[in-house]
Amino acid sequence: MNKPDIQDYRYHAILCCGKKCEPEGDRSLLLHIKSRLSELGLNDVRVNRAGCLGVCEQGPIMVIYPDGVWYCDLNKGNIDQIIQQHFIEGNPVKELVFHISGE
Pick from 18, 37, 70, 78 the residue near ligand FES by CB under 6 A.
18
CA nearest 78: which of 13, 33, 20, 26?
33
**Looking at 3-11, 17-25, 67-75, 90-98, which segment touches ligand FES (CB under 6 A)?**
17-25
CA nearest 21: which of 72, 66, 64, 68?
72
- Contact of 16 with 52, CB cutoff 8 Å: yes
Three-class DSSP labels, 39-59: HCCCCCEEEEEECCCCCHHHC
Pick from 14, 28, 42, 55 the residue near ligand FES by CB under 6 A.
55
**Looking at 15-23, 26-34, 70-78, 92-100, which segment touches ligand FES (CB under 6 A)?**
15-23
Q: How far is the CB of 5 from ligand FES (least distance, A)?
A: 31
Q: Is 52 in the site for ligand FES (CB under 6 A)?
A: yes
Pick from 14, 42, 56, 97 the residue near ligand FES by CB under 6 A.
56
- What dihedral do alpha carbons 89, 9, 12, 43 form, nearest 10°? 70
Q: How far is the CB of 22 from ligand FES (least distance, A)?
A: 8
